[in-house]
Amino acid sequence: MARKVTGRHVVISTAGAWIAGFVIFFPILWMVLASFKTELEAFATPPSFLFFHWTTENYVTVQERSDYLHHALNSLIVAGGSTLIAMLIAIPAAWSMAFSPTKRTKDILLWMLSTKMMPPVGVLVPIYLIYKNLGLLDTRTGLVFILCLGNLPIVIWMLFTYFKEIPKDILEAARMDGATIGRELIYVLTPMAIPGLASTLLLNLILAWNEAFWTLNLSTLEAAPLTTFIASYSSPEGLFWARLSAASTLAIAPILIIGWFSQKQLVRGLTFGAVK
C-alpha cells in the first residue's frame, strides 16, 4: 500500500531541500560576491553581503597579471584528453568484466578501487623522479597521463555498474547474428549505455578539471592549468581575497556552465538502472 503524502510533508521536504541546497551553494555565492569587492571590503568585519561598492577591478587585474586563456586551454586539453583516454580504456575493460566475468573479477575491481584509498602524496616522489627523467615535467602529456591513471578506477567501476544493468540476451542475440566484438561494443552496447557513459564522462571531466595536487606539483608554467592559475594568487605577502575570488570564479565558470546544461543527463545517468 502506497504511503500517503500530505501537503505538510511536501512543504517541509521542499523547504529542507532548499535550505540544504543554499548551504551547499553559499560558499560559491560568497566567492562570486567577494570577487566584486575591493580588498578592504573583502576583509571587512562584519562582512557585507550585498551592500558594498561593486567593482570589476579584480577581474581586470587578474587578466593583466595572468594569461587566463592559456591556463584555460591547458585545463581543457588536460581534462578533456585524460577523460577521453580513460573512456577508451574503461569501456572495453568494463565490458569484459560485466559480460565475461571470472572468479577474480571482484578481486580485480576491489584492487583497482583500493588504489584510490592511498594518499597521492605517498607516491609523489617516485612519480616526480620518473617524470623528471622522462622529460614529462610541466607538459600536457604528463598531466593527461597521470590524471587518466588517477581517475581510471572510478571510470571502470561506474561503467561496470551500468553495463551490468544491460540484459545479456541482447548481446548474445547480436553475436548469433554474426556481430564481432568491435561491432558489439560500438553498435549494440554503447547506444544502450549512453546515459551511463555520459554521466561517467561528465563526472570524470569534473574530477580532472578540479584536480589540484598533481597539477600543482607536476607543472609550473607551460602546462599549468587553472588550478595553478588560482594558486598563483597565494603569496608570502599574504592572501588577496578579492583577487583570489575573481581568479577562482573565472576558473570554475567553464565547468559550472557545462554542469548546468548537462545536469539532466548527469542525473539520468547516475540513476540508470535504478528502476526496473
**200-230: pLDDT as tens digits:** 898 899 999 999 999 999 998 889 999 988 8
Across 145-156, average pLDDT: 92
Helix axes 140-164, 124-134, angle to 10 degrees: 120
Judge whether 36 lies within some domain: no
- CATH assignment at residue 156: 1.10.3720.10
Does the predicted model carry a pTM greater than 0.85? no
- Cβ(86)–Cβ(249) below 8 Å: no
Judge whether 86 lies within some domain: yes
Q: What is the mean pLDDT of the chain?
A: 85
Query: Which of 24-33, 77-86, 137-146 is predicted least confidently?
Result: 24-33
Judge whether 22 lies within some domain: no
DSSP 152-172: HHHHHHHHHHHHHTS-HHHHH
**pLDDT bracket for residue 193 (50, 70, 90):** confident
CA 156 to chain centre: 15
Judge whether 84 lies within some domain: yes
What CA–CA distance (Å, rounded) separates 72 from 226?
6
Total number of domains in the chain: 1
Alpha helices in the chain (DSSP H): 7-34, 39-42, 57-65, 68-99, 105-114, 124-134, 140-164, 168-176, 181-183, 190-192, 194-210, 213-218, 226-231, 241-261, 263-270
Judge whether 80 lies within some domain: yes
Judge whether 118 lies within some domain: yes
Any bridge partners for residue 234, and if so which? 239
The residue range of the domain holding 211 is: 66-232
**pLDDT bracket for residue 275 (50, 70, 90):** very low
What CA–CA distance (Å, rounded) separates 249 from 59?
9
Residue 236 pLDDT greater than 60, yes or no: no
Judge whether 121 lies within some domain: yes
